[in-house]
């Protein structure tokens, strides 16, 4: 099993989760984080650290968000590792809870 970052993270990109990851499996894009499924050890530490609840176990991904399993795998091969938290995006509060953010994903 692995953990997955879903749509809620897009345009928010809170990084509280990366500080607790013991294997540095998070990768950072311009406005989204992903988890490398090959590196994730299913330790569960990241999930409660996400202030907006954007991290799920792969078998608990919300309906309609299943495409994020493949998206995390794909983008983790392209984006650099992030292992130190940083400020969230400036307008993260504005985007929290907004649906349909996949169109805003910057690669």
Q: What is the pLDDT of residues 59-81, one digit of tens each?
A: 999 999 999 999 999 999 999 99
The pLDDT of residue 6 is 98
Q: Inform me whether the pLDDT recorded for 5 exceeds 90.
A: yes
Let me know: does 33 contact 18? Beta carbons within 8 Å: yes
d(CA 50, CA 63): 19
Number of independent structural domains in the chain? 1
The pLDDT of residue 89 is 96
Residue found under tokens 């091969």: 77
Q: Inform me whether the pLDDT recorded for 1 exceeds 90.
A: no
Average pLDDT, the chain: 97
Domain that holds residue 23: 3-82
- Please state, for a pLDDT cut of 90, what percent of the chain lies above it: 99
**CATH code of the domain in which 47 resides:** 3.30.70.20
Across residues 30-38, what is the average pLDDT? 98
66 located within any domain: yes
Cα 7 to the center of its chain, rounded Å: 8
42 located within any domain: yes
């Amino acid at each position: 099993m692995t953990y997955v970052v879903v749509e809620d993270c897009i345009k928010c990109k809170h990084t509280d989760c990366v500080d607790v990851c013991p294997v540095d499996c998070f990768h950072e894009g311009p406005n989204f984080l992903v988890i490398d499924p090959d590196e994730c050890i299913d330790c569960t530490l990241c999930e409660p650290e996400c202030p907006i609840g954007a991290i799920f176990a792969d078998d608990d991904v919300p309906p309609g968000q299943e495409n994020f399993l493949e998206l995390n795998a794909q983008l983790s091969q392209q984006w650099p590792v992030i292992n130190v938290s940083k400020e969230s995006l400036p307008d993260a509060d504005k985007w929290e809870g907004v649906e349909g953010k996949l169109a805003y994903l910057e690669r």
